Amino acid sequence: MNKLIEFLANSQSYFINLARISILVVMVWIGGLKAYQYEADGIVPFVANSPLMSFLYNKKTPEYNDYKNPEGKTVQKNIDWHKENGTYIFAYGLGTVIIIIGLLTFIGIWHNKIGLLGGVLTFGMSLVTLTFLITTPEVYVPNLGGDFPTPQYGFPYLSGAGRLVIKDVIMMATGLICASDCARKLLAQKK
């Protein structure tokens, strides 16, 4: 047990680099998916309901409810609506920003100033994403009725969308850990 404790205690810098690699994997994968129609369609409820981001779309909520494409299905009238809304253009830009943030954080393995920026941006992006828990109705299980009353709906019962969003608590903390590591190294260089 002591060897494990010693290994863990002496490996923190490697684990922080593993956190940077993890951020890169998630950001490149999720950011890259923004180039695909199903993913761009899927973020519409988050963006459309956000007071921080809704101005980036041409249409207003709750109109998007009439034009949802379920994952794996494409309906031309829905795609046409999303084109008019600016859904796809916005998603391309957002995906690019997400990938860049992931790369900046990852580069912190070698360049502390760049990594500091990436970690802070990861924190900020995650903080914005977490606001969706307040602004987006789709993050909680709806009461759809059924053969008997639905006992678990609304807050705190997270839907699939809500479970996706809540994970950003981890990204937020990990971004700060990476930024803190770079800041510590920058301060040590000044001494």
Domain with 69, as residue range(s), is 14-124+169-190
Which pLDDT score, from 0 to 100, does residue 46 have? 94
| Domain total in the chain | 1
In a domain, 3, yes or no: no
pLDDT in tens, 106-132: 999 999 999 999 999 999 999 999 999
In a domain, 120, yes or no: yes
Which pLDDT score, from 0 to 100, does residue 71 have? 83
In a domain, 2, yes or no: no
In a domain, 176, yes or no: yes
What CA–CA distances, in Å, run from 45 to 16, 30, 100, 117?
33, 17, 24, 29
Which pLDDT score, from 0 to 100, does residue 190 have? 87
Phi/psi at 158 (nearest 5 deg)?
A: -75, 135
Which pLDDT score, from 0 to 100, does residue 60 have? 77
pLDDT in tens, 15-50: 999 999 999 999 999 999 999 999 999 999 999 999
Q: What is the DSSP letter of 179?
A: H
In a domain, 99, yes or no: yes
At 59, the pLDDT band (50, 70, 90 cuts) reads: confident
Which pLDDT score, from 0 to 100, does residue 169 have? 97
What is the C-alpha separation between 176 and 158, in angstroms, rounded? 25
What is the C-alpha separation between 156 and 95, in angstroms, rounded? 29
Asked if 69 and 41 touch (Cβ cutoff 8 Å), the reply is yes
In a domain, 163, yes or no: no
In a domain, 131, yes or no: no
In a domain, 129, yes or no: no
Residue 177: enclosing H or E segment and its boundaries? Answer: helix 168-190
At 162, the pLDDT band (50, 70, 90 cuts) reads: very high
